[in-house]
Amino acid sequence: MLELVCERSDEHKVPNRKVKHEATRSRKCGCLFKVLGYVVREDNAWKLTILNGVHNHEMVPYVAGHLLAGRLMEDDKKIVHDLTNSSVKPKYILTNLKKKRKESMPNIKQVYNERHKFKKAKRGDLTEMQYLISKFEENGYVYYISEKCESKTVQVIFWTHPMSVKLFKKFPTVLLMDSTYKTNLYRMSLFEIVGVTSTYLTYSVGFAFMTPEKEDNFTWALQMLLKLLEPNSDMPKVVVTDKDTSMMNAVANVLPDSSAILCYFHVGKNVRARIIIHCKVKQNVVVVDGQKKIVDEAKHSKLVDTIFDA
């Protein structure tokens, strides 16, 4: 016996756990549609009996984005797994799935869900931090971890590639430091340190994930950075940062003999953003062929470059 019912049958059950969003919706509306299927042994064929053939809701005009219509088959899941291992972005994975099977209608959310299941299965019983450390050890990375004494939770983790260590020992003269914000799932800032070779090429020295961007965390990361150098090797001579007070204080404490300068790009960006407000540059706008144009645009650009160079 096989019983087929509408996906909107039954009533919505309120979960006992606290939901993430207060305003939630449900597909369930108590639809009574039901079809009973069974096999007749004499004919060896399926027979269907319609117990209730009426829906109490309107039918959707299209099935694109529907959970059942867009569900991933086993072949689709294998494609998602292989492309995830190759570091392909989810939007390109979705495009690949639609090209492989024209009748498939998955959405980007289903791709994200399958990627999450695949990564969780690879991790096994390990936590995300334990899995990250295992990958560091597997690939020979150099890493250091700072934990809170009372809770044993990771506060800062610093890592670098063995090839980066070799380059840093040869070219430690100039370092560029910057932090990115809100670019990952855990909202942790990524502290990146870049070096410059004698041929003016850049290379990544090391990275650090830190929970709060405090001076102590920057200081600890820079101290771990100096561990990569040999005792009698040259120290960094120039350190370039943006105007981050915590980072600048940490550089002054850990590298007191280095010359700390501000990033030329950030300085220019701030000048160009504020020059119109503070200098009150007038711009005469005229309409030419139905489009608005600035008459003194060249004069304005020249003024910006003059102040910036000064």
Q: What percent of the chain has pLDDT over 70?
A: 85
The mean-pLDDT minimum among 73-82, 118-127, 266-275 falls in: 266-275
Q: Give the pLDDT band (50/70/90) at residue 226.
A: very high
Arithmetic mean of pLDDT, 112-121: 91
- The answer to whether the predicted template modeling score (pTM) of the entire model surpasses 0.75 is no
Q: Where are the domains of the chain?
A: 1-59, 60-124, 141-262, 266-309
* Residues 161, 172: Cα–Cα separation, whole Å: 15
Q: Give the burial class of 219: count Cβ atoms within 10 A of its Cβ; 0-12 exposed, 13-18 middle, 19 or more buried.
A: middle
Report the CATH fold assignment for 141-262: Nucleotidyltransferase; domain 5 (3.30.420)
Q: Tokens 């069974």 label which residue?
A: 38
Q: Give the pLDDT band (50/70/90) at residue 20.
A: low
pLDDT of residue 302: 58
Is the CB of residue 284 less than 8 Å from the CB of residue 308? no
Highest mean pLDDT among 75-84, 142-151, 209-218, 301-310: 75-84
Helix ranges restricted to H, the chain: 74-85, 90-100, 108-123, 128-138, 162-170, 215-227, 245-254, 264-279, 297-309
Q: Give the pLDDT band (50/70/90) at residue 118.
A: very high
**Under the phi-then-psi rule, with left for phi > 0, alpha for psi from -120 to 50, and beta for the rest, what region is 152?**
left
Mean pLDDT of the chain: 83
pLDDT of residue 92: 94
Phi, psi of 63, rounded to the nearest 5 degrees: -110, 5
Q: Which residues contact 30 (CB under 8 A, 6 or more apart)?
A: 8, 9, 10, 11, 56
45 has a pLDDT exceeding 80: yes
Half-sphere exposure (Cβ direction) of 291: Cα atoms closer than 13 Å: 4
290 has a pLDDT exceeding 90: no
Half-sphere exposure (Cβ direction) of 237: Cα atoms closer than 13 Å: 6
